A and B are shown apart, each in its own frame.
Chain A
Amino acid sequence: MSTTIAPEPDTPEVAEVLDLSGSRASDRLFKGGLILAALVIPLLMGLLVYELYSGAALAIDRYGLGFVTSSVWDPVAEEFGALPLIFGTLLSSAIALAIAVPLSLGVAIYLTEFAPRVLRQPIAFIIELLAAIPSVVYGLWGIFVLMPVLQKQVFPFLRDSLGFLPFFTGPIYGPSMLAASIILAIMIMPFIMSVAREVLLAVPASQREAALALGATRWEAVTSAILPYARSGIVGAIILGLGRALGETMAVTMLIGNRHDISASLFAPGYTMAAVIANEFSEAATDIHFAALAYVALLLFCITVAVNAGARLLIWRVSRGASQGGRAL
């Protein structure tokens, strides 16, 4: 192969280099192979949906869309509803993003624009290490280290200072929606940080220099020249974090308290879709219980797809806005 592609230095005849008749077949083979590999993804996706649907068929027949709006989960009476699970999944991910996004963007901006050079590489390396920690380790750390601090210091403080809001009322047990959201935030931060940092690094130096040359302070250069340029990439980083938050299982189930309830208070225990599947799948003895869990999985799949599609749309609109803004400048 390499001999036909790279011509010998003493025979630089063009015809010989172009005579690739032997490799045309291999080109086609290569192309065919790549197409096949690419087709595997939609195929897998289709199989996944089919399997989930056929597994859930029993529950879909019996409960229909009422499954989404009911909040009873009683395996003995064979009554199942997923509303508290959907609520818990969306709320915990939203709170996690609200905590993680400002922090991670702050770190990413600091690392690319303000940090002394000696600090940049080591901190970036540590962030990438954090992203490699398995979620069960985060979960155990959450139970043994984070939970006592939250329960004894952070939660009572929140209740005393912000107790007039319905979100910070009620008894403090420890395992709660807020605890799970905080561990989720800690888990998705490394992802958002490292992607956002790469995106900011990719901003051309000319952008920065131009802003500074016009008399902008460093802070103004960041907000007026760099962030708008990196906007779509940063949104992508956040979507990546959100995707992880929606599907995270082990750490959440260890800290959320696993209760099928919808409560305004963030101190109250909740449940998520991924957590209930992990908890009950292995011991689901009756067919309908099994099907209800598959139904939950199907819903989780739909929600993830919807959130990702929405995010794509957002990126698309944001990047269009950015180019228009560029023209206006």
Chain B
Amino acid sequence: MQLRSLACSLGTLAVLLAGATAPAAAQKLTGAGATFPNPIYTKWFDAYNKKTGVQINYQSIGSGGGIRQFTEGTVDFGATDGPMNEQQIQSVAGNVVHIPTVIGAVVLTYNLPSLGGTTLRLDGQTIVDMFMGRITKWNDPRIAALNPGVTLPKLDLIIVHRSDGSGTTYVFTDYLNKVSREWKDKVGYATSVNWPVGLGGKGNEGVTQQIKQVEGAVGYVELIFAVANKLPFALLKNGAGKFVEPSLASASAAAAGARLKADTDFRVSITNATGDQVYPITSFTWLLVPLDSKAPDKAKLVRDFLTWMITDEAQAMAQDLQYAPLPNDVRRLVADRIKTLKAAGKPIASPT
């Protein structure tokens, strides 16, 4: 009697232990990085957890922190809005793959009540002139030339930019860097730059609030934020000379228009891409994963998640949250790249 109950409880214990520890230890991933894609990552990781039981713990500490933690090996994957530079890649001995996840767009929003329902039209050079402090009034002939038939007010033009380091600033300045030699020489592009003029607002909400409160203010925010807050945003003239409205479709078109090569490392800037439908201030956001992982268990989990991430199901979730999905040809390239991931020098076992 006693023996039997002992054996029974031992058996239960063994089952409990096996159930509780073995899979739980292996079924966990940690990642850290970019704040811009945090809403979609949170949703993906939650959905993926419900689907497969794999727990992914993501800390949105910013792209810089994501790259740093990935380099130090304290996380299984990093996330960033701006790709790692050569020096950073060398510090991990080249053992990194950039995997694009979704596409974000940056829009110019403004406070000009006198325009009514009319949408402002701008081009790259005019934006550079504005952010360099050369255009100081809204009725400047350079803005008027792009907006025939629109009565522009004689207001002071006040620039508002992000004060916190951010991927949004990276993408926006990357675009200005491409359209203007002068911007490239004097300012450059990074997550924070030395702005020639303007006020700094903290976060998308800080920028938005300052624009709302000052008539004649103009600044840049993420598309997703402008849509959610019903802010007006300008049409931009793209490389093909067409004025394009920022939207999920025109942002995805930029990625399609980037025409990636088959052996791309995805560290490409897709701002100012070519194509009629392309909105020019657009960018991938990336996950950073090791090309050859030291932990085969984790590598397999990462690979499986990435494979799921490019399915229609996952990409549709992105669209619900106003992130532009990856175009089909980019998804195919990502799928090919995922297949090359290794663990401890060997290919990762095929999906179960």
Tell whether, in the assembled complex, residue A77 and residue B194 are in contact, meaning their CB atoms are under 8 Å apart. Answer: yes
The stretch that binds A, out of B22-30, B142-150, B206-214, B338-346, is B206-214
A76 and B194 contact, CB distance less than 8 A: yes
Number of A-B contacts (CB under 8 A): 97
Interfacial residues of chain B within 125-172, with CB under 8 A of chain A in the complex = 156, 158, 163-167
A127 to B129 alpha-carbon distance, docked (Å): 49
A-B contacts, 14 listed (Cβ < 8 Å):
A73-B194, A75-B192, A76-B194, A77-B194, A173-B158, A173-B214, A258-B163, A279-B192, A279-B202, A282-B62, A283-B164, A285-B64, A285-B88, A290-B64
Question: Which of A140-148, A182-190, A238-246, A312-320 contacts its partner?
Answer: A140-148
Would you call A253 and B165 a contact (CB within 8 A)? no
A136 to chain B, nearest CB (A): 10
Give the docked Cα–Cα distance between A280 and B209 (Å): 20
A259 touches B193 (CB 8 A): no
Most buried by A among B188, B190, B193, B209: B190
Q: Are A279 and B214 touching (Cβ within 8 A)? A: no
A265 to chain B, nearest CB (A): 14
Find the A residue at minimum CB distance from B80.
Answer: A285
Task: Give A310 to B336 CA distance when docked, in angstroms.
Answer: 65
Distance between Cα atoms of A143 and B214 in the complex (Å): 12
A residues whose Cβ falls under 8 Å from a Cβ of B: 72-77, 143-144, 147-148, 151, 171, 173-175, 253-254, 257-260, 269, 271, 275, 278-285, 290
A279-B188 contact given A75-B193, A147-B213, A257-B200, CB 8 Å threshold: no
Q: Are A279 and B165 in contact (CB under 8 A)?
A: yes
B202 near A283 with CB under 8 A, answer no
B202 and A253 contact, CB distance less than 8 A: yes
| Tally of B interface residues using CB under 8 Å | 36
CB of A282 within 8 A of CB of B213, answer no
Contact of B63 among A73, A279, A285 (CB under 8 A): A285
The reply to whether A285 and B82 form a contact with Cβ atoms under 8 Å apart is yes
User: Are A254 and B200 interface neighbours, CB within 8 A?
Assistant: no
Question: Are A257 and B190 in contact, with the CB atoms below 8 A?
Answer: no
Q: Are B163 and A174 in contact (CB under 8 A)?
A: no
Contacts of A283 in B (CB 8 A): 62-65, 164-167, 191-192
The complex places the Cα of A58 from the Cα of B190 at a distance, in Å, of 20
Interface positions of B from 274 to 314, Cβ below 8 Å from A: none
Q: Which 7 A-B pairs have the closest CB atoms?
A: A283-B165, A258-B200, A282-B62, A258-B163, A76-B188, A74-B194, A283-B191
Distance (whole angstroms) from the CB of B7 to the closest CB of chain A: 47
- Could you list 11 further interchain pairs (A-B, Cβ under 8 angstroms) beyond the known A75-B193, A283-B62? A77-B188, A144-B209, A151-B213, A173-B199, A173-B210, A175-B201, A279-B164, A280-B164, A280-B165, A283-B164, A284-B64
Residue in B61, B63, B88, B165 with the greatest tally of chain A CB atoms within 10 Å: B165
Q: Does A258 lie within 8 Å of B201, measured CB to CB?
A: yes
Query: A76 and B214: CB pair below 8 A?
Result: no
Contacts of A258 in B (CB 8 A): 163, 199-202
- Which A residues touch B158, using CB under 8 A? 173
Q: Are B210 and A174 in contact (CB-based, < 8 A)?
A: yes
Residue pair A143, B209 in contact (C-beta under 8 Å): yes
Q: Is residue B187 contacting chain A, with contact meaning CB distance below 8 A?
A: yes
Known: A76-B189, A173-B214, A174-B213. A282 touches B165 (CB 8 A): yes
CB neighbours (8 Å) of B65 from chain A are 282-283
